[in-house]
Amino acid sequence: MKVHSATPYLSLLTRHSCHAALLLGCLTNPCTAQAPASTPRTPTAGAPSYKVGDTWTFIWGRTDSRSGTPLVVTVVEVTETQTTMSSSSNGGPPKENHYDSQGNLTRDGNGTTYEPSNGTLNFPMAVGKGWDFHHVRRFTLGTIDVSGHDEIVAFERVQVPAGSFDAYKIVSHGVNVKRLDRLYDAPFTETYWYAPSVKKIIKSDYVLYLNHQALLTRTSELGAFSLAS
């Protein structure tokens, strides 16, 4: 997810501090796609149907040397065009986040907007599907233009703290661009796994580069979840 205030992009989350995004960029992704036929013996997944009360706990920023920060996300309202979720990082006050009908972030709890969305998910999903993405992220200190390409490369079993799930593996390559007194170019790569049974990205690994060097790494894993009946 592409994530990135105190929300996943979430989009995983997405996706993520907005101030850092000014020079570094944040999590990202898509919108227009060309979907091939489904690969034999692999499923095709449609967009998730969220319900009020659906809750996920993500372990944010986990590395070999740190345990990560818990981020709790709960669905509080669902309409035909928008899903509203509340997110709380490390027990802090809840923030309101907006998602489109496909579960992509359009506005986070810090007031950052993603136009048309951060686009980390593109349905229907099938192995072999690829798409180009582009969105503009607007926040207090300016804007970031994000573009690149995503591809679903596998449907596989993935182990995370919340359990073992069948998930689509998506590989993303893109670039964050910001114009200040000069043009900043910050390429990124991200690999993330979307599990239809959970309705969320359950794991993501994100790396941001500047001057051909890894400048920022970010990880997220699903720690627990509860879906409303």
Give the residue extent of every domain in the chain. 9-224
Q: What is the pLDDT of residue 21?
A: 35
What does the alpha-carbon distance between residue 220 and residue 137 come to, in Å, rounded to a whole number?
Answer: 21
CATH of 9-224, one of 2.120.10, 2.40.360, 3.40.1360, 3.30.420: 2.40.360
Structure-model confidence comparison of residues 219 and 67, the more confident one: 219
The whole-model pTM stands at: 0.80
HSE at residue 17, side-chain half, CA atoms within 13 A, is: 8
Check if the beta carbon of residue 228 is closer than 8 Å to that of residue 215. Answer: no
What is the distance, to the nearest Å, from the Cα of residue 135 to the centroid of all Cα atoms in its chain?
A: 13
**Mean predicted confidence (pLDDT) in 170-182:** 82
**Mean predicted confidence (pLDDT) in 164-186:** 85
Kindly provide the residue ranges of all beta strands, DSSP E only, lying in 142-228, ordered along the sequence.
142-160, 163-179, 183-195, 200-210, 213-226
> What are the angstrom distances between the C-alpha of 65 and each of 87, 167, 206?
25, 27, 17
Q: Which of 115-129, 155-169, 180-194, 214-228 has the lowest mean pLDDT?
A: 180-194
Classify strands 69-78 and 83-89 as parallel, antiparallel or unpaired: antiparallel
The residue assigned the tokens 């590395």 is 63
Instruction: State pLDDT tens for residues 68-106.
Output: 899 999 999 999 999 999 999 999 999 999 999 999 999
SS3 66: coil
Is 132's pLDDT higher than 90? Answer: yes
Q: Which of 35-44, 130-139, 217-226 has the lowest mean pLDDT?
A: 35-44
Kindly provide the residue ranges of all beta strands, DSSP E only, lying in 116-141, ordered along the sequence.
130-139
What does the alpha-carbon distance between residue 204 and residue 202 come to, in Å, rounded to a whole number?
Answer: 7
Check if the beta carbon of residue 147 is closer than 8 Å to that of residue 123. Answer: no
pLDDT, the chain, mean = 83
Measured at the alpha carbon of residue 140, what is the angle toward residues 135 and 146, in degrees to the nearest 5? 20
HSE at residue 116, side-chain half, CA atoms within 13 A, is: 13
Q: Which amino acid is at 46?
A: G
What does the alpha-carbon distance between residue 210 and residue 162 come to, in Å, rounded to a whole number?
Answer: 33
Check if the beta carbon of residue 160 is closer than 8 Å to that of residue 202. Answer: yes
